[in-house]
Structure 1
Amino acid sequence: MDKKKILICDDDEGIIDVLEMIMEEVGHEVMSVNDSLKVQEVIDKVQPDLLILDLWMPRLSGQDVLRYLRSHPQHDKLPVIVISASRDGEQIANAAGADQFIAKPFDLGNIVESVDALLN
């Protein structure tokens, strides 16, 4: 498999660290941002192949980030996996245009399978 660029956006550094480690271990190039207001800038700069996005973040929610991406033609096809511990997270993620939803706490194997499925 070609090395793909994955962007992780979560305000929890522990989640970012675990996801970075797992994604790099399976051969992907990983970038991360812990401030949802900077996601658009990073996407424009690095052109990721996939975004893993936390739903609940301070300042700008993942839901708002995703709605923004889906409303702009240059980003509307970017595969997005939304992660959240929210009970209503899956409904919210789907309504905003997520390609996949994974509940926290998540199984690392499930994340890898979801990433692989969306990238292939």
Structure 2
Amino acid sequence: MKEKILILDDDKDILEILSLILAESGYEILSLTNGKRVIEEIKEFNPNLILMDVMLGDMDGFEICKGIKENIQHKHLPVIIISASCHLEESFGKMGAPDDYLAKPFDIEVLLSKVEKHLRT
């Protein structure tokens, strides 16, 4: 069975690129352009990992991540935040923090390495 990755990004071009790269690498993908239904989609899709942008239009990726991590059913689900900001280290270790981050622009090998790392732990 393929491992499942939920991708959340409001930039449709980035969403399409990430989906294509990860699908070609053998993952089953569900892509979302906003976080309004993310908890419901997690329950339905049952992903093994979430990859999401930190800036989601009118929503904050850190707040969505916190909501996921504070949910007892999903708190162990790995979340990788994607951001053009390089000042994310201070958020790690806090309650509801993501498990990792990917800097934009991202290198495909780094993306795949981080995904594999969190799927194997």
- The TM-score normalised by the length of structure 1 is 0.91
Matches within 5 A, 1:16-95: 16-92=15-91, 95=94
Q: 1:78 to 1:17 in 2, by over 3 A?
A: same
> What amino acid maps onto 1:104 in structure 2?
K
SS in 1 for 2:36: helix
Q: Deviations over 1:14-73 (max 9, x none)?
A: 111111111011100001000111211211111100000111112321100011111111
Aligned to 1:103: 103
Quick check: 62-71 or 82-91, which moved more? 82-91
Q: Give how far 1:87 is off.
A: 3.6
SS in 2 for 1:118: helix
1:12 and 2:11 matched: yes
SS in 1 for 2:74: coil
SS in 1 for 2:51: strand
Distance (Å, rounded) in 2 between the aligned partners of 1:58 and 1:89: 19
Q: Give how far 1:112 is off.
A: 0.4
Q: Give how far 1:8 is off.
A: 0.1
Q: CA RMSD in A?
A: 1.4
Distance (Å, rounded) in 2 between the aligned partners of 1:34 and 1:93: 25
Q: 1:57 to 1:93 in 2, by over 3 A?
A: farther
Distance (Å, rounded) in 2 between the aligned partners of 1:92 and 1:83: 13
SS in 1 for 2:59: coil
Distance (Å, rounded) in 2 between the aligned partners of 1:107 and 1:25: 16
Residues 93 and 101 in structure 1, CA contact (< 8 A), matched pair in contact too: no
> What amino acid maps onto 2:110 in structure 1?
N
Distance (Å, rounded) in 1 between the aligned partners of 2:103 and 2:93: 13
Number of aligned residues: 119
Relative to its length, the structure with more helix (as a share) is 1
